[in-house]
């Protein structure tokens, strides 16, 4: 029986697949969710799966890439993690912050909402709209008072941390930033990534723009493997006919689900 | 250029990168360990300055007072409305 290593493959097959690819060809593109889950594995619902796959990539000395979209999404994920943790910490008795009763009520309600998220199997992070409402309702006075508590909060919580997080991950884990303007990187592109292709991917499968950007750079590159933890990416990968030429790694359960579709 | 090479047992996509792999960084176990330590450090609770604590507290107090006034004004508005408007 012929076994293909192309198409959607489960994380558990990574050893067999990478062993069958020569070391010079072990290039992979990482989707944001994999990087985010790995970096906050104790918080993230997919932390264990993504820790497994990153360690395998590392063990096989593969070269990993991250695109500009991954970088932007990762920064946003990190922003939400740091703000969620920092703002929740304001409720602790040992916290140096002095908060009003109204702010405490709001933060306690968000804490309960996070507990509900955990019960539903979601990541315990404040959503963007929750962060916005907290900023407007508690930290930033509705009239000009010259006292903007939100800016002081961001300075204390995010400050230089955000930039450091990406820099340290890039340097430490050996992540290569896929900068399409870099002549060195252009050598691994088949063609210049085009916006028309991004629109086409979105129009075909209804994929989000950020996922379509990642899929488009993967399609435009000579990188043979994409590692993701997103059902939508898997679905669009198959619907775009990429499975005949490239490999997409997904967590086992997702890979099984995505492979059931017939296009 | 991407081409396909038949290998007994499976279809193998071979890439010609025209570049040495050594031009790129590789993931290493040591690197993963360092990254974990760095991330753990970055996730330590923030230590705000006294000034930051004061600004946030003042902003919250001002906000609470403003919100109370807005709420009162809203209540007055509702009370001033004709009954038909309140329960159409």
State which CATH number among 3.90.1150.10, 3.40.50.300, 3.80.10.10, 3.40.50.1010 fits the domain covering A7-74+162-259: 3.40.50.1010
Do the bridges between strand B10-15 and strand A7-10 make them parallel or antiparallel, or are there none, so unpaired? unpaired
Q: Report the pLDDT value the prediction gives residue B85, as an integer from 0 to 100.
A: 57
In this predicted complex, what is the ipTM? Answer: 0.75
Among B4-13, B26-35, B37-46, the range with the most confident prediction by mean pLDDT is B26-35
Residue B20 has pLDDT above 60, yes or no: no
Question: How much of chain B exceeds pLDDT 90, in percent?
Answer: 11
Of B2, B10, B55, the CB nearest to A147: B55
Interface size, chain A vs chain B, as Cβ–Cβ contacts under 8 Å: 194
B contact test, residue of A47, A183, A222, A247 with most B CBs within 10 A? A222
In chain A, the residue whose alpha carbon lies closest to the alpha carbon of B49 is A156
pTM of the predicted structure, to 2 decimals: 0.83
Q: Which comes out higher in pLDDT, residue A89 or B65?
A: A89
Segments making up each domain of chain A, as ranges: 7-74+162-259, 80-161
Strands A175-178 and A63-67: parallel
A contacts of B42 (beta carbons < 8 Å): 82, 161, 164-165, 168
> Which residues in chain A have their CB less than 8 angstroms from residue B60's CB?
99-100, 102-103, 138-139, 149
Element (DSSP H or E) covering residue B12: strand B10-15
Instruction: Determine whether the interchain pair A62/B28 forms a contact, defined as Cβ–Cβ distance below 8 Å.
Output: no
Cβ-defined contact of A172 to B34 (cutoff 8 Å): yes
Of B24, B47, B70, the CB nearest to A63: B24
Q: Which residues in B lie closer than 8 A to residue A175 (C-beta atoms)? A: 25, 27
CA distance B83 to chain A (A): 31
- Which residues sit opposite A227 in a β-bridge? A30, A249
Mean predicted confidence (pLDDT) in B9-34: 67
Each of the 263 residues of chain A gets a pLDDT tens digit; together they read 446 789 999 999 999 999 888 888 889 999 999 999 998 888 788 999 999 999 999 999 899 999 999 999 999 999 999 999 999 999 999 999 999 998 999 999 999 999 999 889 888 899 999 999 988 888 876 666 566 889 999 999 998 888 888 888 888 888 999 988 888 788 888 888 899 999 999 999 999 999 999 999 999 998 999 999 999 999 999 998 888 889 999 999 999 999 998 87
User: What local confidence, expressed as pLDDT, does residue A179 receive?
Assistant: 87
Mark yes or no for CB contact A57/B27 under 8 Å: yes
Q: Which of A6, A86, A141, A178 to mutate to test the interface with B (most CBs of B within 10 A)?
A: A141
> What is the pLDDT, as a whole number, of residue A142?
63
């Amino acid at each position: 029986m012929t076994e293909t290593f192309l198409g959607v493959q489960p994380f558990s097959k990574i050893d067999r697949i990478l062993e069958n690819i020569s070391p010079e060809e072990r290039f992979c593109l990482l989707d944001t969710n994999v990087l985010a889950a790995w970096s906050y594995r104790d918080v993230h619902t997919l932390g264990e799966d993504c820790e497994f796959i990153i360690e395998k990539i590392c063990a096989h000395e593969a070269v990993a890439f991250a695109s500009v979209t991954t970088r932007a999404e990762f920064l946003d994920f990190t922003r939400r993690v740091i703000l969620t943790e920092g703002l929740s910490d304001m409720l602790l008795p040992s916290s140096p912050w002095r908060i009003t009763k109204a702010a405490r009520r709001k933060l306690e309600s968000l804490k309960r909402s996070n507990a509900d998220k955990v019960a539903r199997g979601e990541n315990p992070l404040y959503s963007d709209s929750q962060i916005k409402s907290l900023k407007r309702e508690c930290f930033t006075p509705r009239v000009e008072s010259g006292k903007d508590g939100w800016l002081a909060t961001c300075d204390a919580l995010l400050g230089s941390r955000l930039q450091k997080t990406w820099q340290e991950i890039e340097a430490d884990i050996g992540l290569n930033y896929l900068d399409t303007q870099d002549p060195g990187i252009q050598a691994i592109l088949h063609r210049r990534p085009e916006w028309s292709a991004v629109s086409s991917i979105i129009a075909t499968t209804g994929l989000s723009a950020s996922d379509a950007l990642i899929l488009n750079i993967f399609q435009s590159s000579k990188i043979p493997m994409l590692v993701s933890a997103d059902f939508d990416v898997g679905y669009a990968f198959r619907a775009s006919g990429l499975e005949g030429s490239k490999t997409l790694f997904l967590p086992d359960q997702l890979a099984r689900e995505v492979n059931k579709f017939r296009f | 250029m991407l081409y396909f090479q038949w290998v007994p047992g499976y279809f193998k996509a071979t890439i010609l990168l025209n570049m040495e792999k050594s031009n790129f960084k590789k993931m290493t176990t040591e690197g993963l360990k360092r990254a974990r330590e760095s991330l753990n450090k970055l996730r330590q609770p923030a230590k705000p300055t006294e000034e930051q604590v004061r600004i946030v507290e003042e902003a919250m107090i001002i906000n609470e007072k403003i919100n109370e006034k807005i709420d009162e004004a809203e209540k007055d508005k509702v009370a001033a409305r004709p009954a038909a408007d309140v329960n159409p």
